[in-house]
Chain A
Amino acid sequence: MWRLAALLTGGLAMLAGAMLISDVGPLHALRTLFEGSLGSPGAVAGTLRETSPLLLAGVAVFLALRAGLYNIGVEGQLIVGAAAATAIALQVSGPAGILLASLGGMAAGALWAFPAGWIKAYRNGHEVITTIMLNNIAIYFTGWLLSSPMKDPDQQSPTTGTIDAASRLPHVFSNPPLIISSGLVLGIAAVILLALWLKKTVAGYELEAVGANPVAAKYAGINARKSTLLAMASSGAIAGLAGAVQVLAYEGRFYTGFSPGYGFDALGVAILAGSNALGVIPAGLLFGILAKGGTALQIEGVPKGITTVVLGFLILFAAAVRYRQVKAVA
């Protein structure tokens, strides 16, 4: 946790430095950043909304990472999950629709991750390459879906129709402008469940063993191939759920450019989280703050990209610190 705090301080210092260079008062900019993300109930609601998909997607990346897999395909799995969930929720309304759409999103995500898992387990093809390719397929495939089969004929832009209000995930707290969706609660619950599963169950232990040393895992009676396949498919299912929840809790529809890169930000979230799954929560929140605060900065005339640059540095430093620690132990 101290590591995250140190990183955060360093990041803020860098941000201030960048402001100085771009001729904006750094104190003023930082105040804008924080006021824009945490300063008012409305701002907090926006930050939490940005955080919500990063938690589930972060869990997806983190789970695969523990099994020794770099699932770069969370973005694609999230997109197909969202598309499937929207298609179902447009047909079935009410709680049954919510349930079916969530399950459908998970199934779609798992299906999208499965080839990468299979190729890794049985053909030793690297999952980074295959998942990147599957991302491209997901983007263009859903693009086609939105161009005709799923497109709402009444709309100009490529988008589906809007799902029924009865098919939306309920708010757990609503006192406008501060609204907290149950989507956020789901994300937090998923993080806690993953942390417990890894720590307390034999299956979690075996998954981490495969990630840490597949040969030793084999001697310990663990089927490394099956573990790899299961980990990849589960990771995809959670990514698909992230897409489904994004539709059901926030967006209400599926459209081109649905994800501004949640799946890629989730990679950063999982790396910043360190070795404990619970780290996904503060890391996701940090990303949320910078995303929302970045929008406020943009209004002040500071390019939003600057927060992305700072995030990039933070992840680089986090990865560097992590590497050093690993080396010191060995």
Chain B
Amino acid sequence: MNFAVEMQGITKRFGGVTALNSVDLQVESQTIHALVGENGAGKTTLMRVLYGASPADEGSITLKGQRVRHLRSKDAIAAGISMVSQHYTVIPELTCLQNLMLGAEDGPIIHPAKSEEKAEALAQRMGFSFDWHRPAAELSPAGAQKLEILKLLWRNAELMILDEPTAMLSPSDSEALFASLHKLTHEGATVILVTHRLPEVLEHCKAVTVLRGGMLVSEKQVSETSGAELTRMIIGADLPSARPSLRNEPGELVLEVSELAVKGDRHNVAVREVSIAIRAGEIVGIAGVDGNGQRELFQALAGVRKVAKSQIRIDGHELQSTADGLKRGLRVIPEDRQEEGVIESWSLESNAALGLQRLSPLAKGALIASQARRRWAATAAELLNTKYVGLSQPMSSLSGGNQQRFVAAKALGLAPRLLLAFQPARGLDIGGTLDLYREIRKACDEGAAALLVSFDLDELLDHCDRILVMNDGTLVDAPPGSSREMIGRLMVGAE
């Protein structure tokens, strides 16, 4: 077998913590190889070692048969290794073409026509199409993802590392992405896919490496394993049976929205006269392809976006502001945890109060109740098993998944009445996702109502009592018992 990469006995320590303990990884050339594991299993660390961002303490790396002792970033780039991280690096102010070339221009002088020709040829090869002179700010997440992949190709990448590339994509965009990845592997590239979505692994990958707690659990051909076996290897035990939920009859009306209209960033009408009613005890999901107004609707309900016509009531009270909503039990899990959900330079303890700072018991009048805050921070960290060392460590030292756990726990732990969540399971592993939905269900059984936006239809189907579908700014109810296909048709407005 011909290997693009062989990593042997990779060990990486951070202070006293061993993040990777003698891990091996062998990736066959011209295949899609999956790397799976829980949050904090060491996937990202291993990939950082591979592209030279953080050299390993022990172990060796063999690239195309050549053994490299100390792999540095420039060696990795020279060997054609590159990575698309979970957070896109597209600069919104620059045009698509400028983004594509940035840092890899052909020379000190840019020839726009020649560059565009080259870019267009590259895009056509992949079956993508771009309006090269529009600012990248106008790209949908799927478009940004495609541009990221083209950026790698522009740089002659031969080994691409993709970190959860489908987290923000609709099912059809995901399919298109995998089609282009297969095309790439046919043309000679090799792909390492870091993912939490096992169906992707089973359907599209040739081999899979499972990490747990910084150790190699197994490396298998996908044809020789199953979803159940992978799950067992990932979490190290059988899954708790999903959802022992008792569906109570929905209670009183919690959220009432009538004829809400919201403008988008480009003064377009993003949400058209939407009405929603959600009762206590209900978990309601909003399905839809990204960019159909979910974001604007969500931000309006959270009180952070101006509405053209305000008709939002929580428990009968009109929503005046975010602060007012928070007092009435509004809790928000925002879309972008790093930008919107936490203050990364602050400690966990300070972050625990963010958004709840004026609520009892965290405030006593105008003063901060420090002891209560410390206790609450510990409670919030425990609720969804955030892995942390101490409450005074900065939020930025937590992995993405652990930050998400903390942000979600913060929204669930202090008397929520209405939970608004945008892709709440983003970046969470299987166990974390189950923990999260168990706690959401528990909060709703205790009288809260939840409204979730997700681009992962399966996640919504698994966990929601009702599904609404958003398409081009309007919201329709999916009839009870709708099939996946039927909702899919509603998502694209075909019904």
* Selected interface stretch from B143-151, B320-328, B470-478: B320-328
Instruction: Kindly state the separation between the CA atoms of A240 and B197 in the bound complex, as whole angstroms.
Output: 60
Measured CB to CB, the closest approach of chain B to A213, in angstroms, equals 5
Give B338-355 interface residues, CB cut-off 8 Å to A.
Answer: 339-346, 350, 353-355
The answer to whether B182 has its CB under 8 Å from any CB of chain A is no
Which of A200, A209, A213, A219 touches B302 (beta carbons < 8 Å)?
A219
Measured CB to CB, the closest approach of chain B to A206, in angstroms, equals 6
* Selected interface stretch from B4-12, B13-21, B117-125, B360-368: B360-368
Q: Is A223 a contact of B321 with CB atoms below 8 Å?
A: yes
Q: Is A215 a contact of B345 with CB atoms below 8 Å?
A: no
The answer to whether B294 has its CB under 8 Å from any CB of chain A is no
Nearest A residue to B330 by beta-carbon distance? A221
Contacts of B368 in A (CB 8 A): 199-202, 205
The answer to whether A119 has its CB under 8 Å from any CB of chain B is no
Max count, chain A CB within 10 A of own CB: residue among B332, B353, B368, B394: B368
Binary interface encoding of chain B residues 103-125 relative to chain A, with 1 for a CB under 8 A from any of its CBs, else 0: 00000000000000000000000
Measured CB to CB, the closest approach of chain B to A251, in angstroms, equals 36
The answer to whether B137 has its CB under 8 Å from any CB of chain A is no
A-side binding surface: helix, strand, loop or mixed? helix
Instruction: Kindly state the separation between the CA atoms of A10 and B332 in the bound complex, as whole angstroms.
Output: 49
Q: Is A215 a contact of B339 with CB atoms below 8 Å?
A: yes
Give A179-228 interface residues, CB cut-off 8 Å to B.
Answer: 199-203, 205-206, 209, 212-213, 215-216, 218-223
The answer to whether B183 has its CB under 8 Å from any CB of chain A is no
Contacts of A221 in B (CB 8 A): 303, 321-326, 355, 358
The answer to whether A320 has its CB under 8 Å from any CB of chain B is no
The answer to whether A330 has its CB under 8 Å from any CB of chain B is yes
Measured CB to CB, the closest approach of chain A to B414, in angstroms, equals 13
Given the contacts A201-B366, A201-B368, A202-B363, A220 and B355 also touching, CB distance less than 8 Å: yes
Q: Is B363 a contact of A220 with CB atoms below 8 Å?
A: no
Contacts of B39 in A (CB 8 A): none
Give A111-151 interface residues, CB cut-off 8 Å to B.
Answer: none
The answer to whether A326 has its CB under 8 Å from any CB of chain B is yes
Q: Is B345 a contact of A220 with CB atoms below 8 Å?
A: no
The answer to whether B281 has its CB under 8 Å from any CB of chain A is no
Q: Is A219 a contact of B332 with CB atoms below 8 Å?
A: yes
Measured CB to CB, the closest approach of chain B to A217, in angstroms, equals 8
Instruction: Kindly state the separation between the CA atoms of A202 and B394 in the bound complex, as whole angstroms.
Output: 20
The answer to whether A329 has its CB under 8 Å from any CB of chain B is yes
Contacts of B339 in A (CB 8 A): 213, 215-216
Measured CB to CB, the closest approach of chain B to A193, in angstroms, equals 14
Sample of 13 A–B contacts (CB below 8 Å): A200-B367, A200-B370, A202-B367, A205-B353, A215-B339, A216-B340, A219-B322, A220-B326, A221-B326, A221-B355, A222-B323, A329-B345, A329-B397
- 4 extra interchain contacts, Cβ-Cβ under 8 A, other than A212-B346, A330-B344? A213-B343, A215-B339, A219-B304, A329-B397
Pairs A-B, 10 closest by C-beta atoms: A221-B323, A220-B355, A221-B322, A213-B343, A221-B326, A212-B343, A220-B354, A219-B340, A202-B363, A218-B304
